[in-house]
Structure 1
């Protein structure tokens, strides 16, 4: 896959997406969002890819925010369309992918960068990472799901404080808040994420996709997550992965899931 603003590579069942705009601290502009949409969609439809890792190029930033110059002169209608389109093309897409997405946060994850990391299924941070939603310091609010996902992860009060102060949390603070799962030295970040990916890949990709769907259902308005879980549980019984998993257990051998 050849892109102008990102790098995408596949190796041993892992799709690695690297946002590659180092001179802009990997800021998200429209072109980058479109390329990310294409890369995530391609990996999600590739049966050989079992886990996706998303990170930023260099040592300074995962994504330092949105490209402000691109929308500084927008009016109200244009601003609303910007948020709606961005959520549809990237942030909601990532959250609802059936393929697990790990955000490897290397350095600054601010504004749209933190919103992208929060859309991933979970997050690992390098020890130099700093995270925040500074939008109110620019006279705007988070528009790519930040006001919704941050409270889900850290609680309403903590999210209110982070958004209102436009402050940043360091990696250890973010771990304490529940915003990231692990903090590791920057040099070990990608290998650590690949280690988690290897554990994930031992399991049924079909079951994992259904688990993601059921977990996300709990956060959707008007959706009963328990009912989603019940349906997905029942559907599991009709899969080849279920047959292989239960047979392997009874035969006391390692399962070789077909992913069907």
Structure 2
């Protein structure tokens, strides 16, 4: 890799690239992260790039908690640079991630909710700390459906009933339940996670690149949503997230400390459930 990024540190070991997100204070997906991700995906699209990419977070409590809700127009503008104004959405950016000519692995510690979960779902594989990983789709609890891939991926991975449970409850899922449902590949003891992921990444990185990418492309052709499906989900999210109900619930969450390192983020699934009772 030749480019340095503001919010992503990279290191190359043979044919495996490690990409670590670091966007203090809590790794929100904002314009800086999206700008860096657009650049990194462009680098990884070249044939000479790494065969395997492992994404993780420098923050043990937060992988990506969700988007920065104070900077939606800014990060959307950055996402548009990957595909043009007609594809100005995280959903289409994450769709590009799924189609990279490289194997992508998400190594999850901490919280990945909303678009953070959708980033993981766009990766080829997901391995999570059994003790220290939380996943959730918070959008319906705020007032909009997920718009960056969760509906498409979770329905395919979990089946209809469990996808409805995950999306409509906006609840937090620990790693063991997420593994049982199919949200992640495996829940691994935290002390073993780094070695496990390094082993599986290194194993694949030693295989012929053409075979890896041909097999991935064939599976993608069966399992990935179409661009039209991704765009439709993004449009519905963008319409409803601007509505009065969503705005009121988001304001109530900010009053409770949303986007700060407190209970509103650490226990967001519980906090969302409390809104209907008190607001």
What is the TM-score when the length of structure 1 is the normalising length? 0.76
2:124: which partner in 1?
121
Residue 187 of structure 1: how far off its partner (Å): 4.1
Give the SS at the match of 2:70. Answer: helix
Taking the aligned partners of 1:155 and 1:176, their CA distance within structure 2 comes to: 12
1:255: which partner in 2?
none
Residue 221 of structure 1: how far off its partner (Å): 6.6
Give the SS at the match of 1:191. Answer: helix
- Structure 1 residue 197 and structure 2 residue 197: aligned? no
2:183: which partner in 1?
179
1:49: which partner in 2?
50
Contact 1:126 1:189 in 2 (8 A): yes
- Structure 1 residue 37 and structure 2 residue 71: aligned? no
Residue 87 of structure 1: how far off its partner (Å): 2.3
Contact 1:83 1:144 in 2 (8 A): no
2:221: which partner in 1?
217
Tell which structure's C-alpha radius of gyration is larger: 1
Q: How many residues align?
A: 213
Decide whether aligned partners of structure 1 residues 11 and 56 sit closer, same or farther in structure 2, where only a CA change above 3 A counts: same
1:116-169 CA deviation, whole Å, 9 max, x = no partner? 000000100012101010111211221111111111111111011111110111
Higher RCO (C-alpha under 8 Å, 6+ residues apart): 2
Taking the aligned partners of 1:196 and 1:182, their CA distance within structure 2 comes to: 12
Taking the aligned partners of 1:173 and 1:53, their CA distance within structure 2 comes to: 23
Taking the aligned partners of 2:15 and 2:207, their CA distance within structure 1 comes to: 13
Decide whether aligned partners of structure 1 residues 208 and 191 sit closer, same or farther in structure 2, where only a CA change above 3 A counts: same
Residue 59 of structure 1: how far off its partner (Å): 0.9
Contact 1:92 1:119 in 2 (8 A): yes
Give the SS at the match of 2:20. Answer: strand
Taking the aligned partners of 2:94 and 2:141, their CA distance within structure 1 comes to: 22
What value does the CA root-mean-square deviation take over the aligned residues?
2.2
2:6: which partner in 1?
4
Residue 83 of structure 1: how far off its partner (Å): 7.7
5+ long unaligned stretches in structure 2: 74-84, 227-279
Decide whether aligned partners of structure 1 residues 103 and 29 sit closer, same or farther in structure 2, where only a CA change above 3 A counts: same
Residue 200 of structure 1: how far off its partner (Å): 0.6
Residue 41 of structure 1: how far off its partner (Å): 2.5
Contact 1:103 1:124 in 2 (8 A): yes
5+ long unaligned stretches in structure 1: 73-80, 223-260
